[in-house]
Structure 1
Amino acid sequence: MIQDETTSPGYCLLQLLQMDEPLPVPEHEIPYELASCIGCVGGRVCIKNTWFHGALHKGLVKNGPACTDTLTNQDLVPAFLCKSWPAEAQPWLGRQGIGIWPTEEMKRYCENTGCFVVSVSSKSGLYEEFEWRISTSLAERFLMFSLNITQMRCYIVMKMILKTFINPRCNGVLSSFMCKNVLLHCIQNTQSNSWRPSNLLACLTCCLIVLENFVGQINCPHFIIPENNLMVGRIFPRNKHKILEILQNIIRSEGRALLEIPIDNLGPTLQVRMSMYGAFQYYCTSAEIYGKISGELLHLLSRFVSAVHEKLIKEILKGNDDVQEIFSDFTFKLVNTYREIGCYSLKKSALKLLIPLVCSSLGSVVASSEINDHSVISRKALACFSIGLDSDVSSGRLKLASAMYCLGDMIRTEFVLRNIEDLYDLNIVEPVCRYTAFRCSRTRQGFKDKSSTGNEELIREIAAFCVTFTRYEINCVPQELKYEMFRSTQEDMIERHHILGYWMDWAVVDSLPYLYFLQYKTYGHLQRAAAQQQALTNLVTTIKTESNLYHNETALNLLGQCMEQENRHNDALRCYMLSLNIRARNNAANFLIPKLLYAFANRHVV
């Protein structure tokens, strides 16, 4: 097996060896009877991918690497067996997703299955006649047999959707194999308890969103060999937009599109079942109604707490005096007011939720000044951070981790980040931003279930506020996030809302992407490469699949700068362009793109 710069990822050349010893066959010794299926590539005698054609009888229909026997309705795939695991698939054995799947035991089994090479070339290879595709089909077969019923149903319905809605209108550009890889990526990067029968529609929607993202990027990475893009040469601009439109309509239909699927009588069967149970679907028990109202109220309260916190910061920053002193005095007054109010007061409950957020901001302002002056964080700042830890699941802790990171204390930073990841249950915790009022988002079922008690202090356990840094906290902010504080040109300022646009002079980022970004940077400093790559994978997955993010453009800008660090400059540019698609003005991407191109022009990057 030969792999070099001329072969596409996931493909190889097969060099002919002598029968009696493992040495290459010289060009002048090519057997006459093999001349038609052997040729020379770069001085090597290599086998053409038409090698098996002479052994196949007539009546077989060629379909990629497979040949279909129309009489028996069987697929035959001639291939060479390779007993060793392919080198390109080696990183997969060490990769781990959110779902902790596949397990280490499953990966060990897959590694021992070896691989095949099948007679099909890539769409972009230099030597189309000689390329052979590396197939990990035995490992994939084993993974598919390990799926539960919900995961199998997702795969089957995805295939039905392709056959019904997409391929008839788009010349069959998407394949079942792509659906399989989309499903495996989703399983690896979601919590395992999400894949249950009652959650089938949400799981299917997750798969369709990932497929939509792959189509948008024209890149469907092979699950085991992600460098192998399954969409190369299959999707072009003229059908890309049509596919995206169809997928978006199906996703927005919230399951109603399934009623139009005739395959296996799926649509009519669903219609009948809906008619049978339709009379009961609008009736809820008192407990269910109470739980739903409690969930909505808690979500609304979370947004108001976030909004009041930001408004207080805005008012404090208006003064021209010592901001740190004003902040300290104001926080002191809040704490004293809280102590003086009676036990059963709504004001006391409100202050109990607000004070930790204000303390986190004060701690960050103090720490920023101290890091700048003395490269230390005082007890006063740490005490403020400590009070702010329980403001919610993540934002207070992320402020502390960010300060520790900027101080250079990577051990403590990693400890805090690990604690946040343990607390952040992806099935329950709901991202919260004051700007949620302008977005139509659905809260998680786990959030609704937990909030049914009506206890407002649950915000600390099931809500994740956005992390907000003002310019007075700039020394507690990693360099990559500082660009967000200077996102606006004079022309951009005109585009801002005259009342609500003040936050654009700050750095505001959703908690979950910031968690994974800080993990990526911290593990890089600690030289823990596997953990760093896992953090990068989690960051990519979150941006692709988390529908309730409110600062996607900032998350994409952070991801782009991670890609620059990985020397994946095309991917970095793609992230910045996606960010601009979300927010064309008042976006740091407008500075990051010229910075990247300048580095290219001056050969600062390879």
Structure 2
Amino acid sequence: MDHIPRLSEVLYVGMCREIGTPTEVAIRRDVMNMKEMIEKPVYNHKGIAVMMSGSHREGFRLSSSDRDIMLWVCDYKLITDISQSRFYNTSKHNIVLMEDSDTPPGFVKLRLLTPVRNEHMMSRLVLLDGGAYLSSLLWREQYFQVRIKRVPNPENFRIHGPCSSNFCGPIEVDIAYCLATFPWPKLLGGWIERCQRHTWPPVSVLEKILKNECHCMPIGSKVDVTPNELEWRLSFSQAEKQLVCTMNHAQFLCYGLLKIFLKEVINCEEDELLCSYYMKTTMFWMMQLGQVRWCPNNLLDCFWKCFKYLLHCVYRGVFPNFFIPQNNMFMNKIVDDSRESLLQQLYQYYRMGVSCLLLSPTLRSILEPAFSSPSFVLSPAEGEFISIANLDICGIREFNCLSFPAQHIWESYLYLKSINILSQLSNSPHQLLTLQNCTAQTLVRSAFIMTNSASYCTHKKIYNLDTKICGMLKMAARLGSVSYLLYLALYYYRTRRYDKAVRFSNLTKRKLLDDFIIYQYIFDKQRYNETVGNLSLFRRMGLAWVYDVYLFYNIPCIEELFLEQNVSQQNRRSGQHLPPFVIVEMLSVLSHYRLGNRSQCLQSLTDLQTLLLYDDGRYVPLYTRDLSWQILGICQHVVGDLHGALRSYEESLKQKPFQRIKEATYFRTECVKQQLQRNVYM
């Protein structure tokens, strides 16, 4: 099939809908950039640095988009020349010299130049030829043992290359404990000259890249059967992130096209010999060589030229690393029979032409209408247009993943200080909203941290502290989404001001009943656009966005759920998600009960039970149902309906244990049974 601009434009529109419009991708990157900037001072204070990498960080939200996290300690200073050691304080820093004289291209050895400070450091070293070298194997295994003690599901935890890999729900999370090097190694001089010669990336981007670090990953080359434990692989994830951000949208979609084709076609038939990093490297080479016209009506040709480059590399058995071309990334990975098998598979697609894209279910659904009807036309502008409602869904998905886990007041202080500095800069609307989200989260966490320290204060100090806490929670409610009012209601209930708890829970309930509310990405888009579509982004969030109420790790919020928080914490969960619709009814039941308003208490209890019995997932998501039924049981137990409480606890045990509270449920079930037995004998 020859290249047809009409088909390219149809594919461009379909890929915009599948991967994201330029605006959606920009929102994702803005939010993640701001999150990293907010967190940086907090991590630096702990002596570490953290960076997100991988396809999720680049702006993809495909089901296969994994989350890669790079973490490195700041007291290790890597140098490329001994003369650079004079820039560091040897009493505070561990100076490490990078050696590349006897290592394969793209790999280095790390020799410690400063004295060994403790046994922990000694356990990572291997002595060789009178020098002490950091072992990538020992380094990786040591951090693996530290990490496995903290993850919620250690049975799924494994070493994957240089990373510790685990699953957070359906999402794979890879964490690499690496080391950072600045300035860049001398062996990168050839890459810099090549970039300047081809004028890609642009000079401004190249200068920005060179101001940041590159990293050494704890994995050796596989020249032999097993990796060399003294070798560390050079990683350029920070530079790659910058390069992906320089892509225009046609280039970004072509990159996504390659990733989808890899997952749904190439790796579907054979063993997974190729990975998405090869697709990214292919894009970098094709962009630098400048032989492709990157635009919407040429998208099929863009894909085809990238595919032919990949096929050519497999044919030669050489896939050069973009930064160090001497590093053949196929070495000892795609060789002999595996290379021959892969070559035959790719050549089969080559003979099909670009119609091989139809082998992908995702791409076939996009292209079939254009094939079946020669008059089927879509303008690229149709793919890039997106309504306010859909745009806000994109933002909500990003903000829903934000977490700023301050466990101490000093961490909250650093977050707020960072926010204050960043707010002075020129920010996009979604970056400003990220700052507001972080401020609201930090104020709430700080308020409840301070609440739990109030028992050690005098009456006057408690009064002053209460005034501060109320002010902080009211400020959080003004800055955050609709759900943030419930934290104020929780605080009033915690401090036995039940009338105020009822008032704010009722106020929240009225807001939650508005027909334009967004919760769990389900809402009436037309009504939303008509009602709040003309308001500012900040006002839309305050009026229509609803998130789960989050009970923080190690920060008790409401006495009736202390047991669940403790059990969940022992089972290595960082916190608990609660639907706001359940929290509203829970607070209403408990507050009316404490106030002696029996009829209102029973009405709220009935409303809560009805909600759980008849909800289809719209108001009580699946991942909250175990704790939601538990809450109904607690409320029934408090008001004296022991048989109802027993049924609710049993129903909680039938749900998927997302919140990891089964031990708490068993304990409460036994308490109810014992109480029922005592009632029988009385």
- TM-score, L = length of structure 2: 0.39
**Whose relative contact order is higher, 1 or 2, with alpha carbons under 8 Å and at least 6 apart?**
2
